Amino acid sequence: MKEPWFKDPLLLRSIPLSARPSAQRTMKVLDPPEIGTSPRLIQDTNWHVADSPEIYVEGELVQIPYRIHYSWPEQEVRSQLTPDEQLVLACWMTRHHDGRVRQEALSLIFASEDSWPIPFVVQLCGEYVIEVGEEVCAFLKRELPERPGLQQAYKQFLNGNPEFFSLTEQRAMSYWLDDYQTKMPQDDYPQLAALKILAHLMP
């Protein structure tokens, strides 16, 4: 354990209580960030809006930071984490300020059958790094249909958080209009293609 150890309550609140013990252990391998975690959440617009939709996973409120500034622990340290702790770390790293780190974290999340990481994946559909969108879209198209339990978990999350899903669609559309409208058709933009797949899971 690193000394002195610290706690980041903003980071811990992104993980539901069922996985919170793993999160608390995982935090012990993090170095304190140069920039503290902002209270801005993934569903906030214009930094803070009073009516931003809350996000629930299986009925439990989660509060996921929009960006963090922690570094990946060294591979030697990561290899000593349990699978549950590695999953927590991967979810946190999808909020990293560097898009390459966000992309690197995805493989561990896609391998998991747990439902609580789902909002971390959905959020990436509303962000601008096209390579991340391509990986999410490929997962939803090729792997998710073969995993009915996880597919049902996605359906439950989406049906329980329609406002967050709508906000994510709006963000993806904005990025396509601003950056890719003249480069590719809307249906080819991976973030929007991924959201279209998710939309089919909703009534």
User: What are 3-15's pLDDT values in tens digits?
Assistant: 456 789 999 999 9
Contact present, 35 and 96 (Cβ < 8 Å): no
* Domain locations along the chain: 9-199
Predicted confidence at residue 48, as pLDDT, reads 55
Whether 64 has a pLDDT exceeding 70, the answer reads yes
In degrees rounded to 5, what are phi and psi of residue 11?
Answer: -70, -40
Predicted confidence at residue 203, as pLDDT, reads 81
Non-local (6+) Cβ contacts of 24 within 8 A are: 7, 12
User: What are 153-177's pLDDT values in tens digits?
Assistant: 999 999 999 999 999 999 999 999 9
User: What are 72-125's pLDDT values in tens digits?
Assistant: 999 899 999 999 999 999 999 999 999 999 999 999 999 999 999 999 999 999
Whether 2 has a pLDDT exceeding 80, the answer reads no
State the pLDDT confidence band at 41, using cuts at 50, 70 and 90: very high
Contact present, 133 and 144 (Cβ < 8 Å): no
Contact present, 55 and 153 (Cβ < 8 Å): no
pTM: 0.94
Predicted confidence at residue 1, as pLDDT, reads 44
